[in-house]
């Protein structure tokens, strides 16, 4: 499944370091598209252009404060992901909670970075998340899995499974989707891959593959979906420098 991805990644690696301003413009493009799409999937009504303007510090009339904060918070969370990648730190619960704290900052402060204390259900999904008293143990198991046997997996497979398993646990009251996509890209970026964008127009296929992975423990469709997005991001980078 990953042969073509690995070939494209190897080609990109031979072209590093990428030109300074090309890299800067690619990062800005992905920042806007990642922020717009991840928020749109969760119901944010800001358009791509409005998201860009909010990132530049402008307030959009007729939009809620929450929608503005979701954009600003996500930008800050991406910066934190980049910081972790730069340091090369292993994944910890503390990092996950910090990421989530940034996602919900100023939106639901009492639950930002705090595991949920209530049972929740995922709209439209067959999977039912575990009860609150199980979350701490489930998260410890997830981090242990990630830092041990998961290291034998291809980075794309590891990132996709981390995303799916995290969402299956659904450890927070709100913001699980955004946090899971940040974790996916954290994993990819640690291995030298560009960030991927799960696009709003692919939301149905994304949700269906994600729900299948949680209810059947068959991650193949979801891994394939993520692999396609990884290849798209590699193609974008290669087109910019070749």
| Contact indicator for 227, 5 with CB cutoff of 8 Å | yes
Annotated catalytic residue 170: yes
Q: In the prediction, which pLDDT does 120 show?
A: 80
Q: Percentage of the chain with pLDDT > 90? A: 93
User: Residue 206 in contact with residue 198, Cβ under 8 Å?
Assistant: yes
Summarised one tens digit per residue, pLDDT across range 6-31 is: 999 999 999 999 999 999 999 999 99
How far is residue 113's CA from residue 90's CA, in Å, rounded to a whole number?
Answer: 19
Asked if the peptide bond before residue 17 counts as cis, ω within 30 degrees of 0, the response is yes
CB 195 within 8 A of CB 233: yes
Full set of structural domains in the chain with CATH? 3-241 (1.10.3290.10)
Of these residues, 68, 146, 163, 170, which one is catalytic? 170
Q: What is the pLDDT of residues 174-214, one digit of tens each?
A: 999 999 999 999 999 999 999 999 999 999 999 999 999 98
pLDDT at 230: 98
Whether residue 128 has pLDDT greater than 90 = no
Tokens of 103: 């996602």
Per-residue exposure over 68-98, b if at least 16 CB sit within 10 Å of its own CB, e if not: bbbbbbbbebbebbeebbeeeeebeeebbbb
């Amino acid at each position: 499944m990953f042969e073509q991805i690995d070939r494209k990644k190897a080609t990109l690696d031979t072209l590093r370091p990428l030109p300074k301003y090309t890299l800067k413009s690619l990062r800005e493009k992905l920042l806007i598209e990642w922020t717009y799409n991840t928020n749109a999937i969760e119901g944010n009504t800001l358009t791509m252009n409005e998201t860009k303007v909010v990132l530049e510090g402008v307030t959009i009339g007729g939009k809620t404060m929450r929608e503005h904060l979701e954009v600003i918070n996500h930008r800050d969370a991406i910066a934190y992901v980049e910081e972790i990648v730069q340091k090369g730190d292993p994944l910890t619960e503390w990092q996950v909670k910090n990421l989530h704290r940034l996602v919900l900052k100023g939106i639901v402060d009492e639950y930002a970075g705090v595991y949920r204390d209530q049972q929740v259900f995922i709209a439209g999904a067959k999977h039912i998340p575990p009860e609150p008293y199980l979350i701490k143990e489930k998260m410890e198991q997830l981090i242990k899995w990630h830092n041990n046997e998961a290291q034998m997996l291809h980075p794309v497979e590891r990132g996709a499974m981390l995303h799916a398993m995290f969402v299956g646990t659904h450890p927070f009251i709100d913001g699980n989707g955004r946090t899971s996509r940040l974790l996916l890209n954290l994993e990819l970026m640690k291995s030298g891959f560009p960030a991927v964008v799960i696009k709003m127009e692919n939301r149905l296929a994304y949700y269906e593959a994600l729900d299948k992975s949680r209810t059947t423990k068959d991650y193949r469709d979801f891994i394939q979906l993520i692999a396609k997005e990884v290849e798209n991001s590699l193609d974008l980078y290669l087109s910019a420098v070749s």
